[in-house]
Structure 1
Amino acid sequence: LRKSCEGGQGLGQCRLVDIASASNFHCFKLRHFHLDLRLNFAVKEITGWQVLELVAIQPGVQTLVLDTHPSLLIQSIDCKVPGTTGAQDISPSLVYRVDPFTDYGSSLNISLPAYVIRPHRIWWLDAELTCGQTRPLVFTQGHSVCNRSFFPCFDTPAVKSTYTATVRVPEGVTVLMSASRSAYSKQDRVFQFSMEYPVPAYLVALVAGDLQHVDIGPRSRVWAEPCVLTCAVSKLGGSVERWLNVAEDLFGPYVWGRYDIVFLPPSFPIVAMENPCLTFIISSILESREFLLIDVIHEIAHGWFGNAVTNATWEEMWLSEGLATYAQRRITTEAYGEAFTCLETVFRLDALHRQMRLLGDNNPVSKLQVKFEPGINPSSLMNLFTYEKGFCFVSYLSQLCGNVKRFDSFLRAYIEQFKFSSVVAQDLLDFFLCFFPELKESCVAQREGLEFERWLNACGPPLCEPDLSAGGVLTGPVQSLCDLWASEPPDPEAIANFNLSSWSTFQTVLFLDRLLDRSPLSHEVMGQLSRCYSAQLDEMNAEVRIRWLQIVVRNSFYPDLPRIRGFLHKHVSGD
Structure 2
Amino acid sequence: MKLQILIATLLISTLTGVLISKKQYFIGNQGESNIPDDSTLSNILDVQTKHFHLEIEIDFESKSIFGNQTLSMVAQKSGVKQINLDVSNLQIYKVVDQEGNILNFNYFNPIPNIFGEQLQIFLKNPTIEGRVYNYTITYKSENASASSWLTPKQTSSQVLPYLYTQCQSVYCRSLAPFQDTPFIKATYTANVTVVDPIVVYLSANVTQSTQVQKDNQNYTIYSFRSDIPIASYVFTIVAGNVVERKIGRRTSVISEPTNIDFYAQELSDLELYLDTVENYTIPYIWGSYKIVIQPPSFPMGGMENPLLTFASPSIIVGDKSGVSVAVHEIAHSWTGNQVTCKNWRNLWINEGFTMYLERQSDSIMFGKDYAVVDAIVGNDTMVDDMNNFGMQSNYTSLNPMIQGSNPDDAFSNIPYEKGYQFLKYIESVIGQDLLQQFLRSYISEYSLKSIDYEELQAFFNKFIKINRQRDAKKLLSQIDWDTWINQPGMPPVNLKFQTDTIPLIKSLAQSYIDLQGKGSPANYKEFLDFSLNEKCIFLQYLFDHTSEYDSQVLIKIDQDYNLTNSSNQEISWRWFRTTIMVGYNSVQDKIEQFLGLTGRIKMIKPVYQAFVQTGQKQIAQNYLVQYQDFYHPLAVQAINRVINGN
- TM-score greater than 0.5 by the shorter chain: yes
Q: Label 1:287 to 1:433 Cα distance change in 2 as closer, same or farther (>3 A).
A: same
1:174 aligns with 2:199: yes
Using the alignment, how far apart are the partners of 1:76 and 1:416 within structure 2?
41
Displacement, 1:429? 1.4
Q: CA deviation at 1:242?
A: 0.6
**Counterpart AA for 2:39:** A
Query: How far, CA to CA, are the matches of 2:551 and 2:496 in structure 1?
Result: 37
Q: How does 1:151-550 map to 2 (within 5 A)?
A: 151-187=176-212, 189-237=220-268, 239-287=269-317, 289=319, 292-374=322-404, 376-402=405-431, 404-437=432-465, 438=468, 441-447=472-478, 451-469=480-498, 471-473=499-501, 475-488=502-515, 492=519, 494-520=521-547, 521-533=549-561, 535=562, 538-550=565-577
C-alpha separation in 2, matches of 1:91 and 1:230: 51
Whether the 8 Å CA contact 1:484–1:490 is kept in 2: the answer is no
Correspondence for 2:102: 93
Contact 1:481 1:495 in 2 (8 A): no
Amino acid at match of 1:202: Y
1:24 matched residue in structure 2 = 43
Question: Residues 524-556 of structure 1, C-alpha deviation per residue, up to 9 Å, x if partnerless?
Answer: 3233223223x3552441211222222221111
Identify the residue that residue 86 of structure 1 maps to in structure 2: none
The 3 A distance-change label for structure 1 pair 445 and 16 is: farther
> Structure 1: any 5+ residue segments left out of the alignment?
6-13, 81-89
Equivalences for 1:84-123 in 2 at 5 Å? 90-101=99-110, 102-110=113-121, 112-120=136-144, 121-123=146-148
Structure 2: 5+ residue runs without aligned partners?
Answer: 1-27, 122-134, 213-218, 600-629, 633-646
Match of residue 161 from structure 2? 136
Partner Cα separation in structure 1 for residue 355 and residue 71 of structure 2: 34
1:464-518 deviations in Å (ceiling 9; x for gaps): 244533x323x23311202212325578463444333222111112111211111
C-alpha displacement of 1:359: 3.2
Q: Structure 1 316/570 Cα, relative in aligned 2: closer, same or farther at 3 Å?
A: closer
Per the alignment, in what secondary structure is the counterpart of residue 299 of structure 1? helix
Note the C-alpha offset of 1:133: 2.1
User: Which portions of structure 1, spanning 4 or more consecutive aligned residues, are displaced by more than 6 angstroms?
Assistant: none
Distance 1:54 1:401, change over 3 A: same
Q: Distance in 2 between matches of 1:348 and 1:72?
A: 38
Compute the displacement of 1:569 (Å): 4.0
Contact 2:563 2:575 in 1 (8 A): no
Q: In the alignment, which residue of structure 2 is the partner of 1:570?
A: 597
1:53 aligns to 2:64 (yes or no): no
Distance 1:569 1:60, change over 3 A: closer
Amino acid corresponding to residue 298 of structure 2 in structure 1 = F
Q: Counterpart amino acid of 1:105? A: G
Percent identity, aligned pairs only, is 27
CA contact (8 A) 1:147 1:202 kept: yes
Distance change (3 Å), C-alpha of 1:288 and 1:397: farther
Partner-residue secondary structure (3-state), 1:561: helix
1:304-327 alpha-carbon deviations (Å, 9 max, x no partner):
001000001111100000000111
The residue type equivalent to 2:199 in the other structure is T
Residues 209-237 of structure 1: per-residue CA shift (max 9 Å, x gap): 00011101111111001112111011011
Helix, strand or coil for the counterpart of 1:226?
coil
1:540 to 1:210, Cα distance in 2 relative to 1, 3 A = closer
**Offset, 1:134:** 1.9
Q: Say whether the 8 Å CA contact 2:204–2:225 is kept in structure 1.
A: yes
CA contact (8 A) 1:33 1:163 kept: yes
Q: Deviations over 1:109-146 (max 9, x none)?
A: 01542111102221111111122222100111110010
- The separation in 1 between residues aligned to 2:387 and 2:107, in whole angstroms, is 43
1:275-309 CA-partner distances (Å, limit 9, x unpaired): 01110111232126555321110001100001000
1:146 aligns with 2:171: yes
**Structure showing greater relative contact order (alpha-carbon pairs closer than 8 Å, 6 or more residues apart):** 1
Contact 1:484 1:495 in 2 (8 A): no
CA distance, structure 2, for counterparts of residue 430 and residue 551 of structure 1: 45
Which amino acid in 2 is paired with 1:269?
P
Alpha-carbon contact 2:171-2:233 (below 8 Å) kept: yes
* Aligned-partner Cα distance in 2 for 1:221–1:229: 11
Matched, 1:78 2:103: no
Give the residue type in structure 1 aligned to 2:598.
Answer: H
Q: 1:485 and 1:494, CA in 2 relative to 1: closer, same or farther beyond 3 A? A: closer
Q: Which amino acid aligns with 1:377?
A: N
Q: Tell me if the contact between 2:398 and 2:484 (Cα under 8 Å) persists in the aligned partners.
A: yes
Residue type at the aligned position of 1:556 = G
After TM superposition, the score normalised by the length of structure 1 is 0.91
Query: Structure 1: which amino acid aligns with 2:473?
Result: S
Change over 3 Å in CA distance of 1:288–1:353 after alignment to 2: farther
Q: Distance in 1 between matches of 2:482 and 2:598?
A: 43
| Matched residue, 1:85 | none
Matched-pair contact (CA < 8 Å) for 2:244–2:252? yes
Whole-angstrom distance in 2 between the partners of 1:463 and 1:283: 36
Alpha-carbon distance in 1 for matches of 2:318, 2:154 = 22
1:529 and 1:493 map into 2 onto residues whose CA distance is 8
Deviations 1:404-431 (A, max 9, x none): 1221111011111110001111221111
RMSD across aligned C-alpha pairs, in angstroms? 2.2
In structure 2, distance between residues paired with 1:490 and 1:267: 36
DSSP-derived class of the 1:550 partner = helix
Partner of 2:191: helix, strand, or coil?
A: strand
In the alignment of these two chains, the number of paired residues is 548
For residue 623 of structure 2, what is the aligned residue in structure 1?
none
Q: Cα distance 1:181–1:493, how it changes in 2: closer, same or farther (>3 A)?
A: closer
